[in-house]
Amino acid sequence: MAAQNRGCRPMKFSQAKWIHWAQRLKNLGCPGNFETDIQAGPGRLRIEQIGAGQCNFESNRIFDMPGGLPGYILDLAITNDSGRAVFIGNFAIEPPWEDYGVCNLPDPYDSVPKRYRYFFPCGELDYERELVLNHKKGRLRRGGRIEGLILAVGSRPIPEECSGGIVQVKFVVTEPAGNASFSCLSLILDRSAKPDPSTLRIKQRTRTPLFEDLVDVEEPDVIAAGVHFREKGSDLKADTRKKGADHYTAM
């Protein structure tokens, strides 16, 4: 009986292992464009930057808000290139500076009262809910594609040395099972509304020492309001019905 030809089984790589081998091949001088593989890996989701010219001042930018914190606007398309459905769990933005508190704007449907638009804290920018991807999580069918904006706010101001231009951020899509797909995206750093550092400085109040206003009491048995407490061996006890240190009653 002739053996059946089942063909070659494709190799399965995790994202970390794919990046590891792409880096090794690059270091060995093998021909090929490994930069894309090192940046994106074989994630099950393909993340593309869209919008007019990809980098523009309407989307795909980082900007200063009046309070000093940065706002993030990304215009993206996410496509499921895997052979099965993928469940999207969360979106995350990692800027080139240290800021681990970048938070996506919450779904306006969860607010009370219910709203239909996303608002930045500065109050100057708002977007229709249908145009935003922040809340579009869950099952993405095989070959499915979603497009829209990712809106987020940072927890730390943009460093002073970053004056503008183009910066690279890492955008990560994680699944509930722990798998992750990411892409490095180019964003415009808009510092046109950069706040004055002097206005962000917190004024330190002069604090009075805790015990500065206390009066030293020479008599250890006097505690407060002229009330004396009975010492050991004393025949006197405090008369709390009268004020003053000289009112005593005999036992």
pLDDT at 236: 47
> What would the mean pLDDT of 29-45 be, rounded to a whole number?
58
Rounded Cα distance, 95 and 153, in Å: 11
CA distances from 100 to 70, 155, 196 (A): 13, 8, 24
Q: How confident is the model at residue 193 (pLDDT cuts 50, 70, 90)?
A: confident
- CATH of range 15-194; options 2.60.40.10, 3.40.50.12710, 3.30.930.10, 3.90.870.30: 2.60.40.10
What value, to the nearest 5°, has the Cα angle with vertex 115 and ends 111 and 119?
85
> What would the mean pLDDT of 58-76 be, rounded to a whole number?
90
> What would the mean pLDDT of 238-243 be, rounded to a whole number?
49
Residues of the chain above pLDDT 70, percent:
59
Domain range summary for the chain, segments of one domain joined by +: 15-194, 216-251
Q: How confident is the model at residue 83 (pLDDT cuts 50, 70, 90)?
A: confident
pLDDT at 248: 47
Identify whether the C-beta of residue 150 lies closer than 8 Å to the C-beta of residue 93: yes
> What would the mean pLDDT of 228-243 be, rounded to a whole number?
48
Q: Mapped to the 3 state alphabet, what secondary structure does 65-134 carry?
A: CCCCCEEEEEEEEEEECCCCCEEECEEEEECCCCCCCCEECCCHHHCCCCCCEEECCCCCCEEEHHHECC
pLDDT tens-digit readout, 105-128: 999 999 989 999 999 987 778 999
The torsion region of residue 69 among left (phi > 0), alpha (psi -120 to 50) and beta comes to beta
pLDDT at 208: 52
pTM confidence score: 0.62
